[in-house]
């Protein structure tokens, strides 16, 4: 009677996920083969994937550990710059650093992309560990403002003349090798996302959730509050850093202005819309927001019906729509579009059953 | 020496504006335990109010319209975005505040474009005054004076009036205060009104000096002023005043010695150092969480 | 020979100018059920918070199994074998009953993020889940395993909180007003339940309670605190007849 069927449950879900991955890969391979035709779609997909990684990493610390961190842009900048510096082809470097030259040590330092991405993540993680020591002992709202401030400090340092030979100061970096195919982007993102899901569902992830639910109770069952918070913050920042590296690859050229506070807010938008504390929410949210922003582009263009200009349509309109959407979700759907739940096959089944019942009820 | 005085004066003037904004943060945080991320953007919108009202009416009326409109905006934001979340977790309210900030910035971009708009010159304020070897504009001298006068009025309001007593009671213990018959919503609205009004005054003084407004003009000054409030001890009005002056003066000095790139980052370094050595700020009180 | 489990020696704590607790002496021996009683605001919960490391006492000693535990982290103290419940139930509200107990098992299965992420701890995880299952079953909570803790009826939440504390395998269990909000029948059930877990898990129990029936019925010894000071100790009978205790509870007669 006390039998629990973990195995079966896990296997069914695993199969479904595998199926989704295979189908997605097949679609991406098809798109890649017809690159010129689907250029636009590919770029939306790649951007969404990168944002999904960053949004999920933000969710680890904010949604699952209950710590409100707003340092995303800063950690992304660290990862992006590290990855860029380590991957720009040697031949292009003189051209990139044409104003101030490059630090001799870095002149020939080129690493394979996956390793550069990991180092980018590690750099972000190290900074997170350092900043976490003073800040994680404080109340959560100080964490928000301190991480926000930290992110601005990083930006200022990156853009400063002292860093010219490393970050190329205010000129930014270009000629960053991009993704060879959308499949490549998919694989990197997928690895990150899978590892993050594994963490969230592990015993470590359960400790995170315990802290989110009640810090005092968590301590009372033997969870080391500071160590666990620091762990969550560092892990999250690692993946934010890797996400930053992926963003650099997607954009091919970056400068310090890429990593303004607005970037953090964009990611927060995804996390909140998708549902704080929902893995699938963050992933779907990333696609929804990124694709939404692109598809709503026409809102920013002047729009005329029968020769009469509709006055609402001009630059900035779609961001207003997104801001209003964000406010609606915050005020009326506090748990996000997915309500803090995970979208799984079981839910879909339940939903269908309910619908069928409604239909049956209607027939009587 | 002259140069130093000149910079000191500029610093104090900027600091006065910062202090006025910082008070808004400190009051709201004191009462709702909320970092009102939208406060800097209220300050920015006040700039636009002035531009548009100045264009159609004489300046004294325009100033009054700006002050009133900003105050109303502050109260409305509280009513629509924060009041419904009174019982929600603090993170939700903070996200709502960020949402309002995001909305105001995007709305401003949409309505007024992202290009900087010229701020009107209020007659007399930009007049150049020469004291000894220092020449400066009237607004630079006026700012700290106005700031200090307003702070004195505010201190009187908080410490000597009935509504001030309610504010102090609510900031002590929200639930107990409402049980004692204090009208919670009225007190909170009043707090937002005062904060926004001061931000509007700060906005007029600040932008008269800067001469342009754009949709993101409020974001960074807003954050700096929050740091000023933390520095002085969140919840403390004299603390916010001191914090504002401190940040303003330091920033001006840093710019003067040629480290402009770091002038913004400096504020946050101050924040992190402060959180490390004295998280409650200069005048803050220590709170004990009840278990 | 009776083995001493917990000993407070002249323990005191000040908050600002207030002496919340002052010179508290208390000891609990192995296998005992000891109660702390006293009017509201007397400092009972504060004493619990000092013992579990949430507050650090400003003076005096706390010894657990003969060793000082003053200044240690709450999680460290839990690991040493002191578990507790809270006056206003603190569960992991949005997590399931099963997860609530499972999380409390973690401290005995040292995992790091690497082994747990890549599921190298699969055997430990299985063991933990089995043990959780057994514990829930023995506490009659298994049927609620998939329910969200915060959605359960009050009485069940109380029991779950105790089960969660038991999952850390404590030597000493601190119960902060376990009968709060219960009707007489539930209180009686709780009385036998507390004795039962004491015997079954070999526990030593220190509890704070207002229900005098329960206190008198269950506790071998009672400490009475008022205004942060110990005013009486002894058996139920002794305490009941102590004039200072009567005074603390009922106030002094009018002409005083």
Q: Do C99 and A206 touch (CB under 8 A)?
A: yes
- The reply to whether C86 falls in a domain is no
Question: Same domain for C183 and C224?
Answer: yes
The average pLDDT across A64-69 equals: 93
| Chain B, nearest residue to A319 by Cα | B106
- The reply to whether C246 falls in a domain is yes
- The reply to whether C216 falls in a domain is yes
Question: Whose CA is closest to B228, among B252, B195, B250?
Answer: B250
Q: Is B98 on the interface with A (CB under 8 A)?
A: yes
Please give, rounded to a whole number of angstroms, the shortest distance from the CA of C210 to a CA of chain A.
Answer: 23
The average pLDDT across B100-114 equals: 92
Regarding predicted confidence, which is higher, A248 or A262?
A248
Question: Same domain for C63 and C98?
Answer: no
* In the block, residue with structure tokens 């809102």: A299
The residue range of the domain holding C54 is 1-81+170-256
Residue A15, number of CB atoms within 10 A of its CB: 11
Q: Is A257 on the interface with B (CB under 8 A)?
A: no
In the prediction, which pLDDT does A6 show?
53
In the prediction, which pLDDT does C1 show?
55
- Per residue in C23-46, pLDDT tens? 899 999 999 999 999 888 888 999
Going by pLDDT thresholds of 50, 70 and 90, the confidence category of residue B199 is very high
Return left, alpha or beta for B236; rule: phi > 0 is left, psi -120 to 50 is alpha, else beta.
Answer: beta
* Choice among A187-191, A255-259, A309-313, C93-97 with the minimum mean pLDDT: A309-313
DSSP lists the bridge partners of residue A362 as: none
Q: Count how many pairs of residues, chain A against chain C, have C-beta atoms within 8 Å.
A: 108
Q: Is A61 on the interface with C (CB under 8 A)?
A: no
Q: Is A33 on the interface with B (CB under 8 A)?
A: no
Question: Whose CA is closest to A341, among C11, C148, B128, B136?
Answer: C148
Q: Do A323 and B230 touch (CB under 8 A)?
A: no
In the prediction, which pLDDT does A361 show?
39
Q: Do C103 and A206 touch (CB under 8 A)?
A: yes
Q: Do B96 and A324 touch (CB under 8 A)?
A: no
Q: Do B103 and A140 touch (CB under 8 A)?
A: no
Question: Same domain for C50 and C18?
Answer: yes
Tell me the percentage of chain C whose pLDDT exceeds 90: 65
> Two tokens at A345?
């096959």
Question: Same domain for C49 and C108?
Answer: no
Q: Count how many pairs of residues, chain A against chain B, have C-beta atoms within 8 Å.
A: 120
Q: Do A214 and C79 touch (CB under 8 A)?
A: no
The average pLDDT across A80-101 equals: 90
In the prediction, which pLDDT does A41 show?
92
Q: Which chains does chain B touch, 3 or more C-beta pairs < 8 A?
A: A, C
Instruction: Describe the crossing of helices B263-277 and B237-256 by its angle, rounded to 10 degrees.
Output: 140
Question: Same domain for C36 and C49?
Answer: yes
pLDDT at C255 over 60: no
**Which residues on B lie below 8 Å from A334 (Cβ)?**
88, 92
CB neighbours of B262 closer than 8 A, spacing ≥ 6?
A: A156, A160, B254
Looking at the partner chain, which of A68, A142, A261 has a beta carbon nearest the beta carbon of B91? A68
Going by pLDDT thresholds of 50, 70 and 90, the confidence category of residue A10 is low
In the prediction, which pLDDT does A8 show?
56
Question: Same domain for C22 and C100?
Answer: no
The average pLDDT across C96-105 equals: 96
Q: Is B260 on the interface with A (CB under 8 A)?
A: no
Q: Do A6 and C129 touch (CB under 8 A)?
A: yes
- Per residue in A98-147, pLDDT tens? 888 888 888 888 999 999 999 999 999 999 999 898 888 877 778 888 89
For A8-301+309-358, CATH gives: 1.10.3470
pLDDT at B260 over 80: no
> Coil, strand, or helix at residue C27?
strand
Query: Residue A61 is inside which H or E element, if any?
Result: none
In the prediction, which pLDDT does A305 show?
67
The average pLDDT across B104-108 equals: 93
Going by pLDDT thresholds of 50, 70 and 90, the confidence category of residue A234 is very high
In the prediction, which pLDDT does C254 show?
43
In the prediction, which pLDDT does A55 show?
97
DSSP lists the bridge partners of residue C232 as: C224
Regarding predicted confidence, which is higher, A305 or C107?
C107
Q: Apex CA C151: angle with CA C147 and CA C156, to 5°?
A: 80
One-character DSSP codes across B143-190: HHHHHHHHHHHHHHHHHHSHHHHHHHHHHH-HHHHHHTT--HHHHHHH
Rounded CA-CA distance A31/A54 in Å is 24
Q: Which chains does chain A touch, 3 or more C-beta pairs < 8 A?
A: B, C
Query: Residue B6 is inside which H or E element, if any?
Result: helix B2-32
**Boundary of a domain, candidates C147, C169, C191:** C169
**Which residues on C lie below 8 Å from A216 (Cβ)?**
54, 74, 86, 90
According to DSSP, residue B262 is labeled: G
- Per residue in C43-81, pLDDT tens? 899 999 999 999 999 999 999 999 999 999 999 999 999
**Which residues on B lie below 8 Å from A331 (Cβ)?**
80-81, 84-85, 96
Rounded CA-CA distance A282/A166 in Å is 34
In the prediction, which pLDDT does A357 show?
47
Domain ranges (residues) in chain A? 8-301+309-358
Torsion of CA C18, C21, C23, C29, to 10 degrees: -170
* Test the C interface: residue of A217, A227, A278, A334 with most C CBs within 10 Å: A217
Looking at the partner chain, which of C74, C106, C164 has a beta carbon nearest the beta carbon of A207? C106
Within the 137-156 window of chain B, which residues sit less than 8 Å (CB to CB) from chain C?
none
Regarding predicted confidence, which is higher, A313 or B208?
B208
Question: Same domain for C226 and C163?
Answer: no
Q: Is C164 on the interface with A (CB under 8 A)?
A: yes
Regarding predicted confidence, which is higher, B49 or A360?
B49
Q: Do B268 and A153 touch (CB under 8 A)?
A: yes
Q: Do C15 and B288 touch (CB under 8 A)?
A: yes
The average pLDDT across C186-207 equals: 92
Query: Residue A308 is inside which H or E element, if any?
Result: strand A308-310
Query: Residue A11 is inside which H or E element, if any?
Result: helix A6-33
| Chain C, nearest residue to A206 by Cα | C103
The average pLDDT across C97-122 equals: 90
User: Residues B247, B228: contact at Cβ < 8 Å?
Assistant: yes
pLDDT at C207 over 70: yes
Query: Residue A40 is inside which H or E element, if any?
Result: helix A39-59
Q: Is B91 on the interface with C (CB under 8 A)?
A: no
pLDDT at A364 over 50: no
Looking at the partner chain, which of C103, C117, C125 has a beta carbon nearest the beta carbon of A198? C117
In the prediction, which pLDDT does B262 show?
78
**Boundary of a domain, candidates C133, C149, C169:** C169
Which of A134-138, B239-243, C241-245 has the highest average model confidence (pLDDT)?
Answer: B239-243
> Two tokens at A308?
């009469």
Question: What 3 state SS string does A321-355 have?
Answer: HHHHHHHHHHHHCCCCCCCCCCCCHHHHHHHHHHH
**Which residues on C lie below 8 Å from B288 (Cβ)?**
15
Question: Same domain for C107 and C34?
Answer: no
- pTM for the full model? 0.90
Question: Whose CA is closest to C223, among C245, C204, C249?
Answer: C245
List C-alpha distances in Å: A296 to A210, A301, A308, A327: 40, 10, 20, 18
Residue A168, number of CB atoms within 10 A of its CB: 26
Q: Which chains does chain C touch, 3 or more C-beta pairs < 8 A?
A: A, B
Please provide the distance, in angstroms rounded to a whole number, between the alpha carbons at the two ends of chain B.
Answer: 56
Rounded CA-CA distance B147/C163 in Å is 59
- Per residue in C141-165, pLDDT tens? 999 999 999 999 988 999 999 999 9
Question: Same domain for C180 and C156?
Answer: no
Going by pLDDT thresholds of 50, 70 and 90, the confidence category of residue A2 is very low
Q: Is B291 on the interface with C (CB under 8 A)?
A: yes
**Which residues on C lie below 8 Å from A213 (Cβ)?**
91-95
DSSP lists the bridge partners of residue B130 as: B135
**Boundary of a domain, candidates C169, C196, C223:** C169
In the prediction, which pLDDT does A7 show?
54
Going by pLDDT thresholds of 50, 70 and 90, the confidence category of residue C252 is low
Q: Apex CA C182: angle with CA C180 and CA C183, to 5°?
A: 140
- Per residue in B46-87, pLDDT tens? 999 999 999 999 989 999 999 999 999 999 999 999 999 988
**Which residues on B lie below 8 Å from C49 (Cβ)?**
291
Question: Same domain for C108 and C183?
Answer: no
pLDDT at B290 over 60: no
Rounded CA-CA distance A241/A80 in Å is 7
> Coil, strand, or helix at residue B137?
strand
Looking at the partner chain, which of B110, B262, B267 has a beta carbon nearest the beta carbon of A160? B262
Question: Same domain for C113 and C57?
Answer: no
- Per residue in A297-353, pLDDT tens? 777 777 666 666 666 777 788 888 888 988 998 888 877 776 656 766 566 655 555
- Per residue in A31-40, pLDDT tens? 999 888 898 9
Going by pLDDT thresholds of 50, 70 and 90, the confidence category of residue B286 is low
Q: Apex CA A20: angle with CA A17 and CA A25, to 5°?
A: 125
Q: Is B288 on the interface with C (CB under 8 A)?
A: yes
Q: Do C54 and B291 touch (CB under 8 A)?
A: yes
- The reply to whether C100 falls in a domain is yes
Per-chain mean pLDDT for chain B: 88
* In the block, residue with structure tokens 């079966």: A8
Q: Do A214 and C84 touch (CB under 8 A)?
A: no
In the prediction, which pLDDT does A1 show?
39
Q: Do A220 and C165 touch (CB under 8 A)?
A: yes
Q: Is A99 on the interface with C (CB under 8 A)?
A: no
**Which residues on C lie below 8 Å from A339 (Cβ)?**
none
Q: Do A315 and B110 touch (CB under 8 A)?
A: yes
Q: Do C86 and A222 touch (CB under 8 A)?
A: no
Question: Same domain for C155 and C143?
Answer: yes
User: Residues B212, B51: contact at Cβ < 8 Å?
Assistant: no
Residue A184, number of CB atoms within 10 A of its CB: 16
Domains in chain C, number: 2
The CATH number covering residue C185 comes to 3.40.50.300
- Per residue in B154-187, pLDDT tens? 999 988 888 888 888 888 877 788 888 788 889 9
CB neighbours of A63 closer than 8 A, spacing ≥ 6?
A: A212, A271, A275, A276, A277, A278, A282
Question: Whose CA is closest to C233, among C19, C21, C34?
Answer: C34
Question: What 3 state SS string does C118-181 have?
Answer: CCCCHHHHHHHHHHHHHHHHHCCCHHHCCCEHHHCCHHHHHHHHHHHHHHCCCCEEEEECCCCC
Rounded CA-CA distance A96/B267 in Å is 32
Q: Do C75 and A213 touch (CB under 8 A)?
A: no
Q: State the pairing for strand pair C18-29/C4-15.
A: antiparallel
* Test the A interface: residue of B93, B106, B107, B273 with most A CBs within 10 Å: B106
Rounded CA-CA distance B40/B71 in Å is 14
């Amino acid at each position: 009677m006390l039998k629990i069927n973990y195995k079966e449950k896990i296997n069914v879900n695993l199969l479904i996920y595998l199926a989704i991955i295979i189908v997605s890969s097949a679609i991406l391979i098809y798109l890649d083969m017809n690159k010129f035709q689907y250029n636009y779609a590919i770029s939306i997909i790649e951007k969404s994937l990168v944002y999904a990684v960053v949004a999920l990493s933000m969710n680890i610390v904010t949604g699952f550990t209950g710590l409100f961190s707003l340092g995303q842009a800063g950690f992304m900048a660290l990862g992006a710059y590290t990855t860029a510096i380590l991957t720009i082809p040697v031949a292009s470097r003189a051209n990139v650093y044409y104003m101030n030259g490059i630090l001799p040590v870095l002149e020939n330092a080129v690493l394979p992309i996956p390793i550069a991405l990991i180092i980018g993540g590690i750099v972000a993680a190290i900074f997170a560990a350092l900043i976490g020591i003073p800040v994680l002992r404080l109340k959560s709202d100080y964490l928000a403002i301190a991480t926000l401030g930290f992110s601005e400090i990083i930006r200022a340092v990156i853009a400063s003349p002292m860093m010219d030979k490393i970050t190329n100061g205010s000129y930014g970096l270009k000629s960053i090798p991009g993704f060879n195919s959308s499949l490549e982007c998919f694989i990197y993102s997928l690895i990150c996302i899978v590892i993050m899901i594994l963490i969230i569902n592990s015993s470590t992830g359960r400790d995170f959730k315990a802290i989110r639910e009640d810090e005092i109770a968590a301590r009372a069952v033997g969870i080391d509050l500071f160590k666990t918070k620091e762990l969550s913050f560092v892990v999250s920042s690692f993946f934010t850093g890797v996400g930053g590296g992926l963003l650099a690859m997607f954009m091919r050229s970056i400068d310090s202005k890429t990593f303004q506070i607005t970037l953090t807010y964009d990611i927060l938008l995804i996390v909140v819309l998708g549902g704080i504390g929902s893995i699938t929410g963050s992933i779907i949210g990333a696609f929804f927001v990124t694709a939404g922003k692109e598809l709503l582009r026409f809102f920013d263009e002047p729009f005329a019906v029968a020769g009469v200009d509709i006055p609402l349509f001009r630059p900035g309109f779609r961001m207003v729509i997104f801001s209003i959407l964000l406010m609606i979700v915050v005020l009326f759907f506090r748990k996000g579009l997915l309500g803090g739940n995970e979208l799984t096959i079981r839910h879909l089944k339940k939903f269908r059953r309910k619908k069928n019942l409604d239909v049956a009820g209607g027939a009587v | 020496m002259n140069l130093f005085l000149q910079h000191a004066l500029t610093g104090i003037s900027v600091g006065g504006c910062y202090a006025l904004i910082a008070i808004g943060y400190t009051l709201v945080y004191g009462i709702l335990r909320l970092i009102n991320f939208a406060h800097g953007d209220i300050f920015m919108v006040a700039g636009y109010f002035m531009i548009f009202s100045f264009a159609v009416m004489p300046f004294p009326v325009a100033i009054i319209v700006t002050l009133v409109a900003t105050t109303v905006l502050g109260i409305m934001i509280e009513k629509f975005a924060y009041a419904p979340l009174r019982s929600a977790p603090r993170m939700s309210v903070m996200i709502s505040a960020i949402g309002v900030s995001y909305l105001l910035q995007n709305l401003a971009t949409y309505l007024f474009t992202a290009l900087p708009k010229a701020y009107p010159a209020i007659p007399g304020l930009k007049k150049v005054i020469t004291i000894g070897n220092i020449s400066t504009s009237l607004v630079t001298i006026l700012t700290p004076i106005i700031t200090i006068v307003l702070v004195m009025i505010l201190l009187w309001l908080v410490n000597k009036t009935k509504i001030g007593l309610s504010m102090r009671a609510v900031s002590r213990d929200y639930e107990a205060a409402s049980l004692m018959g204090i009208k919670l919503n009225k007190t909170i609205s009043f707090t937002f009104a005062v904060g926004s009004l001061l931000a509007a005054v700060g906005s007029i003084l600040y932008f008269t000096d800067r001469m342009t407004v754009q949709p993101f003009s409020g974001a960074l000054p807003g954050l700096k002023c929050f740091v000023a409030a933390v520095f002085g001890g969140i919840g403390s009005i004299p603390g916010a005043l001191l914090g504002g002056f401190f940040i303003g003066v330091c920033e001006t000095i840093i710019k003067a010695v040629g480290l402009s790139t770091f002038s913004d980052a400096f504020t946050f370094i101050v924040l992190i150092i402060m959180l490390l050595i004295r998280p409650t700020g200069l005048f803050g009180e220590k709170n004990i969480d009840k278990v | 020979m009776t083995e001493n489990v917990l000993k407070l020696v002249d323990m005191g704590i000040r908050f600002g100018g207030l002496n919340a607790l002052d010179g508290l002496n208390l000891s609990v021996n192995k296998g005992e059920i000891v109660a702390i009683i006293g009017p509201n605001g007397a400092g009972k919960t504060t004493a619990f918070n000092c013992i579990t490391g949430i507050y650090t006492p400003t003076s005096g000693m706390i010894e657990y199994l003969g060793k000082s535990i003053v200044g240690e982290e709450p999680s460290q103290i839990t690991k040493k074998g002191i578990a507790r419940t809270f006056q206003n139930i603190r569960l992991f509200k949005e997590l399931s009953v099963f997860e609530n107990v499972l999380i409390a098992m973690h401290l005995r299965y040292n995992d790091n993020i690497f082994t747990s992420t890549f599921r190298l701890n699969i055997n430990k995880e299985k063991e933990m889940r089995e043990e959780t299952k057994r514990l829930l079953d023995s506490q009659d909570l298994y049927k609620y395993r998939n329910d969200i803790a915060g959605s359960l009826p009050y009485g069940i939440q109380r029991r779950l909180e105790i089960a969660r504390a038991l999952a850390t395998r404590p030597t000493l269990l601190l119960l902060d007003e376990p009968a709060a909000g219960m009707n007489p029948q539930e209180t009686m059930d709780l009385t036998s339940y507390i004795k039962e877990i004491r015997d079954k898990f070999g526990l030593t129990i220190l509890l704070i309670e207002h229900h005098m029936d329960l206190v008198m019925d269950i506790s071998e010894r009672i400490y009475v605190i008022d205004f942060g000071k110990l005013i009486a100790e002894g058996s139920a009978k002794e305490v009941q007849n102590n004039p200072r205790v009567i005074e603390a509870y009922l106030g002094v007669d009018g002409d005083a």
